[in-house]
Amino acid sequence: MANKKPATIKEIARKLNISTSTVSRALNDHPSIGLVTTMRVKKMAEELKYEPNQTAIFFKQRKTFTIGVILPMLVEPFFTEAISSIEQYASERDYTVILGQSLDDEQRELNIVQTFKKHRVDGLLISLSKNTADLTFVDSLRQSNIPVVFFDRVPERTDVHRVFSDLATGMEEAIEAFVSRGHQKIALINGPDTMIASKQRLHSFEMALKKQGIPFDPNYTVHTDLTLEGNETAMETLCNLPDRPSAVVSFNDFVTLDVIRYVKTKGLALNQDIFFISFANYPLWQYMDNPPMGSIEQYPGEQGLKATEILFEAMEQKEDMPYKTVVLTSKLSLK
């Protein structure tokens, strides 16, 4: 037997012997329709199991009530917390969130942007991949009246909406904590040169050392591409220095997990022979018997929430909205 076609406004109108425009207004509680008629229409709609044609509604309102979110990797607790705040805010406004993972690949990221654009999302939140250099898609989105807000991993340009964490405060607290415990040979495992976050970390690292009266030694700064192999190679470089550092600030907690494992294979004792402080404040540190010395909180939930607030404001205004840059203050959390 063929599936029964969904009930329509025309069918409701025919059964009640009224116009389709009356049915439409009654279903939307229009004040021009009397209470009795509205109740009759809604009762018949329920009996026929009528469901509104969302495509027609979207076309009429010029909205899809969806926003797109592109993240490097959802597996990272940082982004999991961010997306929770984003979805909560959107849900309270009857919006659906569509997720895409770039997996830190620029072309994949662009493909997701194009897919979201074709599906006419009302707005877009993006935390950039580590390799993203081409932002011409921003202009394409503008031409389609799709606002975009960048958070955490943001571009250096200021003609876009951005929300990110200021790393200087957390870095300064980290270096101060190391120095107060007698460390003078302090290293930095930084991320890829292309990332604005890497540049911020390096600048903050140099300034924090200077404040403590420690000369900057470029040999104590190494880079990783954020892969397991890249993280281990960076740590190997530091371990092979004639004057090995006793303390290390690492790019993020996932890098720290890899380098902790590496130093253990070299017979070094964590928090005895070498100490680590990293960024992001991985929630599971609290369950480890021997966690790193500390982690710098970047408040992903607040970043996600603020970015979503700006996005909804931009979706309502569409044009003539000044570009916003919101900077949250990072903070060291000792374990």
105 and 201 belong to one structural domain: no
Mean pLDDT of 141-161: 92
2: confidence class by pLDDT, cuts 50, 70, 90: very low
- 88 and 183 both lie in a single domain: no
- 180 with 292, same domain? yes
Same domain membership, residue 120 and residue 43: no
In a domain, 1, yes or no: no
| Structural domain includes residue 335 | no
Tell me the pLDDT band of 58, cut-offs 50, 70 and 90: low
Number of domains in the chain: 3
Least confident range from 143-147, 174-178, 248-252: namely 143-147
Domain of 271 in residue numbering reads as 166-297
Same domain, 232 and 111: no
Check which CATH number belongs to the domain holding 304 and give it.
3.40.50.2300
133/176 same-domain check = no
Residues 140, 197 within the same domain: no
> Are 111 and 184 in a shared domain?
no
- Residue 55: pLDDT band (50, 70, 90) is low
Answer yes or no: do 130 and 210 share one domain. Answer: no
> Does residue 321 sit in the same domain as residue 173?
no
Residue 3 lies in a domain: no
Is 94 among the domain residues? yes
pLDDT digits (tens, 9 = 90+) for 159-178: 999 999 999 999 999 999 99
Q: What is the pLDDT of residues 315-333, one digit of tens each?
A: 988 667 899 999 999 999 9
Q: Of 199, 251, 200, whose CA–CA distance to 72 is shortest?
A: 251
Token pair belonging to 191: 């991320």
* Residue 111 pLDDT exceeds 70: yes
Structural domain includes residue 229: yes
> The whole model's pTM is what?
0.77
28 within a domain of the structure (yes/no): yes
Judge if 260 and 141 occupy the same domain. no
